[in-house]
Amino acid sequence: MYVPLANKYRPQKFADVVGQDIVVKILTKAILKDRVGHSILFTGTRGVGKTTLARILAKTLRCENRQPNEYEPCGKCESCVNFSKDNQIDVIEIDAASNTGVDDMREIIESCRYKPTTGKYKIFIIDEVHMLSKSAFNALLKTLEEPPEHVKFLMATTEIYKIPETILSRVLRFDLKNVDSVLIAQYLSTICNQENISVGAEALSLVARFANGSIRDSLSILDQILNVADNNSLSAEQVREVLCISDDGDLLELFALLMSSNLKDSVKKYREIISNDISAKAILSRLMDFVYFVTCAKSNLQIPDKNLSEDSEDKLREIAQNASLSSLSRIWQMLVKGADEIKICDRQEIALEMLLIRVIYASHLPDLDEFLKKLKVNSFKVSENTENHDINSQADESGSLLEEAMRSFPGARLK
Ligand SMILES: [Zn+2]
């Protein structure tokens, strides 16, 4: 039977959790000291291990064989076995996204009064807790203020800012990090070994990069790519094909053309890349990486992408020599804003082409300092000059400069 990799390799104990060392350290110490709080909140982006950690913690707290000097669940007792089979009466998992109302919460609170059928703790795992309604949060708050001894609340959220302060002040909060792409690539390599898949470092680092810090996503992507793999072997080329990503060589060429404001060749190169079924989103995302890397290089900071080839890094450093920090930050702003536009556009490839054209036009505009200097000189000339037509033409020039500035500094507002 086919089991998705993300399910098959879902961590069953703390030692299996990847990339959350500090959280794991604090939790396991708390378990050893028998000081695990009544209400714990895990926060972080999707797929970083929030619910997984909540489940492992629940499993550990309810494990029947665990000794006081151990922090991992045994995996063999009735409770652990039932847990693996999703057959636990005393661990109640609630998806707040579909149980948002106060009545759902009242039901939960009501059941808190009863002791667990077996073991020491009755555990509630509330996923996406930020989705609860205001009245549901209020009902929950009362229980969090005076929780029964035998109850633990383990909550998870991707949107911490939507959780009321009153709740936050009563929970122990753990912020989960996005997992480093190098760590994800290492992890995928061990999974591929176990699955007898032969795969190179470049292919793995591409998958890891595309997963954006999420272990779960990285496994889902790997699953997706394995559908097209022959004889259990995976090449970087196949990964690119499935994920619709271009290699850095082509994208760097496009980036260099953009930075040198070469409109015609930029558009030509862009159309060539996109015609190979590379997604607009993937192109934009890598271009944004490049802007960031060049800004790092320009500021004498280390370029943090450990998967970047030496050639690519040399090329980026070369581009950095001719780029100004203000134009880099302007391009960055435009790409960030453009990313939102592209998301809502049906024809993403056109939206990105328009965005690139805009970036090139904006690169001809003066920097803010330069513009302000020009503006000062012009207003001085206007006040000096008394002839009407001259005033008008100077004012026109100042006006159009102002317009230019408004276009080039999207965040700017006229006072
Ligand atoms: Zn056990």
The CATH code of the domain that includes 150 is 3.40.50.300
Question: Left (φ > 0), alpha (ψ -120 to 50) or beta: where does 86 sit?
Answer: left
Task: For residues 245 and 236, give the distance between their C-alpha atoms in angstroms, rounded to a whole number.
Answer: 10
Assigned domain for 320 exists: yes
The count of domains in the chain is 4
Are 87 and 232 contained in the same domain? no
Separation of CA 63 and ligand 1 centre (Å): 4
**Dist. CA 61 → ligand 1 center (Å):** 9
How many A from CA of 58 to the centre of ligand 1? 11
pLDDT at 236: 86
Expressed as residue numbers, the domain containing 127 is: 5-175
Contact 363, 256 (CB under 8 A): no
Question: 40: which DSSP letter?
Answer: E
Say how many Å lie between the CA of residue 84 and the centre of ligand 1.
11
The one-character DSSP state at 161 is G
**Consecutive H or E run containing 174:** strand 172-175
Distance from the alpha carbon of residue 64 to the mean position of ligand 1, in angstroms? 5
The domain that holds 265 is classified in CATH as: 1.20.272.10
Tell me if 116 is assigned to some domain.
Answer: yes
Residues 186 and 164 in one domain: no
Task: Give the distance (Å) from ligand 1 centre to CA of residue 163.
Answer: 33
Residue showing tokens 């699953």: 223
Among residues 125, 145, 175, which one ends one of the domains? 175
C-alpha torsion sign, points 239, 245, 251, 254: positive
pLDDT at residue 391, rounded to an integer: 46
Q: Is 118 found in the same domain as 52?
A: yes
What letter represents residue 295's amino acid?
A: T
pLDDT at 184: 94
CA of 72 to the centre of ligand 1 (A): 9
CATH assignment at residue 200: 1.10.8.60
CA atoms of 178 and 42, how far apart (whole Å): 13
| Ligand 1 geometric centre to CA of 366 (Å) | 67
194 CA distance to ligand 1 centroid (A)? 25
Is the same domain home to 197 and 49?
no
CA distance 264 to 409: 24
Question: Does the residue 326 lie in any domain?
Answer: yes
Q: How far is the CA of 312 from the centre of ligand 1 (A)?
A: 50
148, 175, 202 — which closes off a domain? 175
Examine the fold and report which residue of 118, 152, 175 is the final residue of a domain before the chain moves on: 175
Model-wide pTM > 0.75: no
For residue 77, how far is its CA from the centre of ligand 1 (angstroms)?
A: 4
Compute the distance from residue 175 Cα to the ligand 1 centre, in Å. 27
Do 65 and 109 lie in a common domain? yes
How many A from CA of 128 to the centre of ligand 1?
27
Is 294 within 8 Å of 372 (Cβ atoms)? no
Quick check: 7 and 33 in contact, CB under 8 A?
Answer: no
Same domain (yes/no): 25, 125: yes
Q: Are residues 35 and 103 in the same domain?
A: yes
Do 110 and 143 form a contact (C-beta atoms < 8 A)?
no
| Distance from residue 60's CA to the centre of ligand 1 (Å) | 7
Rounded CA separation 291/259 (Å) = 10
pLDDT tens, N- to C-terminus, the chain (415 residues) = 888 999 999 999 999 999 999 999 999 999 999 999 999 999 999 889 999 999 999 999 999 999 999 999 999 999 999 988 888 889 999 998 888 788 888 888 888 889 999 999 999 999 999 999 999 999 889 889 988 999 999 999 999 999 999 999 999 999 999 998 889 999 999 999 999 999 988 889 889 988 888 999 999 999 988 888 877 888 888 888 888 777 788 899 999 999 998 999 999 999 999 888 788 888 998 899 999 999 999 998 888 776 677 888 889 999 999 888 888 999 999 999 998 888 888 899 999 999 999 999 887 676 667 677 777 777 666 556 555 544 455 555 556 666 665 655 555 544 4
